[in-house]
Structure formats: structure tokens, C-alpha cells
Chain A
Amino acid sequence: MKPRHKKLAAIGVGVAALGIVVALVLTAFQKNLVFFFSPTQVAAKEAPLGRTFRIGGIVEPGSVKREGVDVRFIVTDTAKGLPVVYRGALPDLFREGKMVVAQGQLREDGVFQAREVLAKHDENYMPPEAKEAVEKAHQAAKKGKS
């Protein structure tokens, strides 16, 4: 091969490799993006069935019930509540009346099966997603009244 052909071949291989990597990354990215929905959005059937997503809001006081290793509670954005079920020990900062974010899937019966519950380690910290969901619900309520 002439040097020029070699160079072209090398560039060709490089571009092909880059193309494969980009394709790989983008499909993996597309599949694994996790979107956030507020309880109001879930109630309005905006959230997908059979796909992992996140929800967030306040743990409704008095709603936490233990059933053996399972725990059930309601996450609310003050406008709508969403029943959640989770298996295992809850994170240290999970408390009734506090903000929480959970990741999992929506079941056919409208219950959110959480696989991960996130409550961050700081009493003053509010998960930004959950905070926004509550604020939006408040604004919607204000608009409704006026």
C-alpha cells in the first residue's frame, strides 16, 4: 500500500470505530434516561407503564405502614397522592412529612413499585425534584382559586 492509502485506511478504521462507539453510547443513553414525574402527572396518566422513572414529593404523615419486610407509604405533592410500595430498609433520613424521591416502575394497579428510595443526608436539604413538584402543585392550586 502507498502511504496515502495507508493513511486513508487508518482514517477509515478510526471513523468506523468512532461511529460504533457513538451508536453504542447513544442507544444505551436513550434506554437508560430516567425521567421525573410528579404525583399530579402520574394521576393524569402522563407517566409510562413498564418503564423506570422517578417520582418525588412529601411522605404523607400517617401513611407509612410496615407489612413485614415490605413498607407502604403515600407520596404527595399536596395536590395528589401516589401509593408507593418498597421492600427492605428505608434510608436513614426517610421520615413522614419529609421530602423523598423514589425510583421504580408504575404497576397496573396504580401503585408505584419503588426499587430505590433516596432521602439525602441533610435535614435542611430538599431533593430539588421533590421541591419543584410541590411548588408546581401549589401554583396550580393558586391559579385554580383565582
Chain B
Amino acid sequence: MIPELGQFALALALTVALFQSIGLTGRFEGYARAAAQGQALLVAFAFGCLVYCFVSNDFSVAYVAMNSNTQLPIQYRVAGAWGGHEGSLLLWTLMLGAWMTAVSLFSRHLPEEMAARVLGVMGLVSAGFLAFMLFTSNPFDRLLPAPEDGRDLNPLLQDPGMVFHPPMLYMGYVGFSVAFAFAVAALLSGRLDAAWARWSRPWTTVAWMFLTIGIALGSGWAYYELGWGGWWFWDPVENASFMPWLIGTALIHSLAVTEKRGAFRSWTVLLAIVAFGLSLLGTFLVRSGVLTSVHAFAVDPRRGIFILGLFALLIGGALALYAWRTARIGLGGEFAAVSRESLLLANNVLLAAAAGTVFLGTMYPLAIDALGAGKISVGPPYFETVFVPLMAPALFLMGVGPLARWKRTSLPELAVLLRWALAVSLAVGLLLPLAMGSWHAMVGFGLSLAIWIVLTALLSFRKSVRQTRSHYGMVVAHIGVAVFVVGVTLVKGYDAEKDVKMRPGDTVELNGYAFRLDEVNDVRGPNYLAARGQMTVTRDGKPVAKLAPEKRLYTVQEMPMTEAAIDPGLTRDLYVSLGDSLGDGTWLIKVQVKPFIDWIWAGCLIMALGGLLAASDRRYRFALQKDPALVRSAA
């Protein structure tokens, strides 16, 4: 009964979403608002039904039977609702409902026509997803006769990371639909002005903030759950979330120019469309099974055709509209070759180029495979070779941009302003690696850049006349980038690892730490059996940490899992994973020391905090009352 109610709610939501898209005409704003909220409630109800099916172990629902089990702990039964393809689509529409409700509540200051069109576009997106779910990937499909027990959630997903990572990531993905809807609405009404940019900015920044947190959570999860201590693998799944982030970052910066100076308008619109396009691509790449095999579509061609159709309709339609309207957009304010605009343009070009290289490396192997031209793969060396030369100038310019003036800035003046920051960051950055024991050119370079970013951010803070929250936000986010760069540089430069054979009582030394294996015991978890090692770590004879790495066997799917043990710290993580048993009480053990690795995720969180600060600037809230120019354009 409950699954049928859920399905009925989804069907009803689809009707409401179609009705909502009449907002595209620029009229019926009140109806569109009501439809958005009603639809969000319906989808939330359907989602509640699915969670209920999981919690009550209703294995007559095929999706539940595939992704749950009676022995599965309750929190993972709830999170199991988004553990597979169908459920994650439902989560996606739930998030879209949340964003639509937010837009309908916080758009009172918008002209009615604009609000109606924005909600109309979002209604169309939602209708597409609801139809995709109902016709090809229904989470409520029955499986009769119902099996005795479910197949269990993939053990890799049985982790707190699973509870938080997908919702955050999807909040980010779906959040770009708001920027997309604003762009399409502005194209439809032919009014791409500073006001439009100002309306889009807080939404884009909040979406970017969620995406940043989502990616950081995913990376941290991979770090401790996959058991091998890597934090980024340039895996297609990761790249799929990284591409919209790069374009979203470019969009945030180009929106700033459009708002302040009226320039880059058509470029900004294009970025808004592409950012959402890449979010859609990311969702489908990860969830449709194309990555494991391009021939997954051949098994169920309806899904593939539906996805391509939806993509063509939304993104193709938006691009066609863009091509048709772009001549009318105009160029906006003029600026000199050295100015804040030109520096932000350089930032945008670099970020877009970086996104392009990730796209090439991710999609090329898929395209080659789809054409039947052989199997190839593109590994981390490619991305690393391309990324360093693209990002290094972007990081350098990050220090210059905030200090340059709009329209025109004098190069000698900038040089005078920045010479001390440059000298200090070079000196400290190049000398610091010596203090750490061994000098690597890349480490010195990376540290110099990080110090440069911090110094210039503080400088721009002191120089600025009007200190607003959005300015604080920028400074904080840039410092977050610096913290991230420190983490990446030092992990890359100084991480140490050893694969060793150990039996209880043995000790292994790594970077001054002594790891002793005390014993290995058998333990029993709720749905797994495990061997658990007990290790004591000492440094110069003083105890540092106790670690308990596990090798688990999840009984339902007969699947082994390495559960690493980590002792986190400000300047280093100690990371131990228990490998295979070699018989006669000997175990294969991998010990690692990872310097400053937690700075990587701390940097991401600081960036997100900066985004939050910037988005909460009050001028976005009271835009209409305060700014006479906006009142005029709205009238």
C-alpha cells in the first residue's frame, strides 16, 4: 500500500511540474509559486514512503530488495534509500523541490515575470526527472513474490560518508539549476543586466558551497574507506563532480564582473548553462552504469534514449536560445588590458581550460569504447601533468586580482603594492622545505604559492575601503585555497609508506614512528566477521596512538573489505591497513605517514565557509529597496 501511495505522489508531482512550467510564458507567477511548493511536498511524501519501505524491510519493493537487508543497521537502511540508481534520482528531485521552494519563498523582490519564468524552467527540469523516474527507473516497482531477505547494501556504502556525501553533492548539482533557470529566464525576457547577475549570485554561491562540501566529503570517504590512503584518484566518478565545480567557480567570478561592470554577460550566461549541463552529465554518468560499461545502455535502451532526449531538450534548448539571443546581449563596460576585469577573464579562461582537460580525459575513453575502437584508459599522470601548469598561474593571479582596480590599473602601482608579499612568499616558501628535511622544487613552489595567496588576501583586506560580508567571504575562500594547496603539496612531497610482513610482536619503523603489532583477534559485527589487529605506535619510546585496522567479510554478499585505522593529526595522519593473512599468524600490513593531509579537507571547508559568508551579504537580501537602479530595471 505504502509504495503505491509513493508512486501516486510521484505521478501527481509530475502533473504539477508540467503545470508549473506554464511560468515559462512569464505570467501566472502566483500559480507557479504554489505549484513549486505543492510539488516539493508531494516528492517529499514519496521520499518518505521509500524510506518507510527501507526501514520496515518491505522486500516486495524491488529496489529495497536490491539495496537492503534485515541485518543492515538502521541508519544505513535510511541512507540505502539513495544507495542505487532509482533512489538517487528520487533524492535528486527531492533536492530540486527544496531549491524550488527556496526560490518561491525568497523571490518576492523579483519582478513577477522573472520569478514566473525561473520557476517555469525549474518546473520543466523537474518534470523531466519525474518522467524519467516513472517511466524507466521507478523506485517503487514491485518484486513478486517477495524474497525472504534483501541483497544488502554494498558494504563500501555502509559508512557515515554514505549518509552525508550524496545529499551534499546533490544539493550542489541541483543548486546550479537555479543559476541555469535564471540564465534561461533572462534570455527569454532578453534582459541580461546587472540586476539579473545580482539575483543569480547568492544562489550560485550557495550551490557552489554545497558542491565543495560534497566533493570534500567524497574525497575524505574514499581516503578512509577504500583502505589505501589516496585522497583523489582522477576516477571518472570524481571527475564528474569536479567538472561542474570548476565551471561553477568560473561562474561565481564572472557573475561578479557582470554585476559590478556589466561586462562578460554572454560568457556568464554560457557558464551558467554549461555548469548545469555538467551537473546533469555527472548525475547520469555516475548513476546510469555507463562508466562500468558503455554497453549498459544496450541492456535497457529506454534509459539511454530518455537521458539523451532530456539532455538535448534542456541543454540543447538553452544553447539554441543563447545562440538566438546572444547578438542582442551587447558587450557591456570597456576595460583596459591590465584591470580587474582582464585578470578575472584570465581566471575564467584557466578554469574553463582545466574543466575542458578533465572532460577530455573522462569522456575520450568512453567515446572510443562506444565506437568499438578498443579499450583505453587515462590515468592520474595525464591529469597531474596538465593541471599543475594550468592551476599555478591561476593561483598566482588569485593574489593580484583582488588588488587590481576595475576598468584600468597601473602595473607599476600593483608591483609596488605586491613586491613585499612576493619577496616574503618566495623566501619563506623556498626555505621552509629545508626545515622539513629534504628540498623538492615542487614543494617550494607550492608553499610559495600558498603563502602568496594568504599574504595578498590579507593585503586586499587591509586595502579595501568598504568591508562587506561578501568581501570577507572572498578573503576567507581564498585562504581556504591556500590551506588546500599546503595540504596537497606536502602530501605529494613527503608522504611515506611501507608494505611489510608482520606477526604479533613485530615492529616496523617509518619516518620516526614505530608501529608494533600486538595481536590479531577475530570479532563479529552486526552483518560481518572481521580480523582486527591491535597496533601500538610510539615515537622516541613515547606512546602516540593505538590503532585497530580490520579486515572484514560481509556475510550476505560474501564481500571482503579493508577497514583502515587512522590516527589523524594537524601535521600528519598515521594510516594502517590490514592486508591478507599469509598463514602461520603472519599478516601483510601497509603502514603510511601522511603529512598535512587533513589540510586538504580543512581547506575545502574554509572555502565553503567563505561561500556562506559571501552569500549571506545583506545587499542580496534587500536588493530591491536599496538600489534605485534595480528598482528601475524591475519596474
Note all chain B residues with C-beta closer than 8 A to A33.
376-378, 382
A121 at the interface (CB under 8 A from B): yes
A3, closest chain B residue (CB): B334
Note all chain A residues with C-beta closer than 8 A to B561.
92
Note all chain B residues with C-beta closer than 8 A to A17.
349
The distance from the CB of A50 to the nearest CB of chain B, in whole angstroms, is 15
Note all chain B residues with C-beta closer than 8 A to A28.
381-382, 385-386
Name which of B46-54, B576-584, B616-624 contacts chain A.
B576-584
Question: Is there an interface contact between A24 and B386, defined as CB atoms closer than 8 Å?
Answer: yes
Give Cα distance in the complex from A28 to B361, angstroms.
Answer: 10
A103 at the interface (CB under 8 A from B): yes
When A36-B374, A125-B292 are in contact, do A29 and B559 touch as well, CB less than 8 Å?
no
Give Cα distance in the complex from A103 to B233, angstroms.
Answer: 15
Question: Is there an interface contact between A93 and B501, defined as CB atoms closer than 8 Å?
Answer: no
Note all chain A residues with C-beta closer than 8 A to B356.
25
B353 at the interface (CB under 8 A from A): yes
Note all chain A residues with C-beta closer than 8 A to B381.
28, 31-32
Q: Which of A17, A31, A35, A92 has the most CB of B within 10 A?
A: A92
Question: Is there an interface contact between A35 and B557, defined as CB atoms closer than 8 Å?
Answer: no
Question: Is there an interface contact between B378 and A87, defined as CB atoms closer than 8 Å?
Answer: no
The distance from the CB of A99 to the nearest CB of chain B, in whole angstroms, is 12
Note all chain B residues with C-beta closer than 8 A to A25.
356-357, 360, 386
A-side interface mostly: mixed
Note all chain A residues with C-beta closer than 8 A to B375.
35-36, 54, 128-129, 132
A29, closest chain B residue (CB): B382
Question: Is there an interface contact between A54 and B557, defined as CB atoms closer than 8 Å?
Answer: no
Note all chain A residues with C-beta closer than 8 A to B558.
123
Give Cα distance in the complex from A28 to B577, angstroms.
Answer: 33
Question: Is there an interface contact between A36 and B376, defined as CB atoms closer than 8 Å?
Answer: yes
Those of B551-594 within 8 Å (CB) of chain A: 557-562, 577, 579-580, 582, 588, 590
A21 at the interface (CB under 8 A from B): yes
The distance from the CB of A6 to the nearest CB of chain B, in whole angstroms, is 7
Question: Is there an interface contact between A89 and B499, defined as CB atoms closer than 8 Å?
Answer: yes
Question: Is there an interface contact between A123 and B557, defined as CB atoms closer than 8 Å?
Answer: yes
Interface string of B327-344 (1 = CB under 8 A from A): 000000000010000000
Question: Is there an interface contact between A10 and B374, defined as CB atoms closer than 8 Å?
Answer: no
B156 at the interface (CB under 8 A from A): yes
Partner of B582, one of A21, A66, A92: A66
B379 at the interface (CB under 8 A from A): yes
Interface string of A27-52 (1 = CB under 8 A from B): 01101111110000000000000001
Give Cα distance in the complex from A130 to B343, angstroms.
Answer: 48
When A36-B374, A68-B501, A123-B557 are in contact, do A29 and B360 touch as well, CB less than 8 Å?
yes
B295, closest chain A residue (CB): A128
Note all chain B residues with C-beta closer than 8 A to A123.
557-559
B293 at the interface (CB under 8 A from A): yes
Note all chain B residues with C-beta closer than 8 A to A31.
381-382, 385
Those of B534-559 within 8 Å (CB) of chain A: 557-559
Give Cα distance in the complex from A128 to B299, angstroms.
Answer: 14
Question: Is there an interface contact between B389 and A24, defined as CB atoms closer than 8 Å?
Answer: yes
B415 at the interface (CB under 8 A from A): no
B354, closest chain A residue (CB): A21
Give Cα distance in the complex from A68 to B561, angstroms.
Answer: 22
When A28-B386, A29-B360 are in contact, do A89 and B590 touch as well, CB less than 8 Å?
yes
Question: Is there an interface contact between B353 and A69, defined as CB atoms closer than 8 Å?
Answer: no
A108 at the interface (CB under 8 A from B): no
B361, closest chain A residue (CB): A29
In the A-B complex, the 9 residue pairs with the smallest Cβ-Cβ separation, listed nearest first, are A89-B579, A32-B382, A36-B375, A28-B385, A88-B499, A92-B560, A32-B381, A128-B293, A34-B377
**Interface residues of A, Cβ cutoff 8 Å to B:** 6, 9-10, 14, 17, 21, 24-25, 28-29, 31-36, 52, 54, 66, 68-69, 87-90, 92-93, 103, 120-123, 125, 128-129, 132
Sampled A-B contacts (22; CB under 8 Å): A25-B357, A28-B381, A31-B381, A32-B378, A33-B377, A34-B378, A35-B375, A36-B374, A36-B375, A87-B499, A88-B588, A89-B562, A89-B577, A92-B227, A93-B559, A103-B377, A120-B292, A121-B156, A121-B559, A123-B559, A125-B292, A132-B375
Beyond the given A36-B376, A54-B375, A69-B588, could you list 14 further A-B residue pairs with CB under 8 A, ordered by the A residue number? Answer: A6-B337, A10-B337, A21-B353, A29-B360, A29-B364, A32-B382, A34-B378, A36-B374, A54-B377, A89-B580, A92-B561, A123-B557, A123-B558, A125-B292
**Interface residues of B, Cβ cutoff 8 Å to A:** 154-156, 227, 292-293, 295, 337, 349, 353, 356-357, 360-361, 364, 369, 374-379, 381-382, 385-386, 389-390, 499-501, 557-562, 577, 579-580, 582, 588, 590
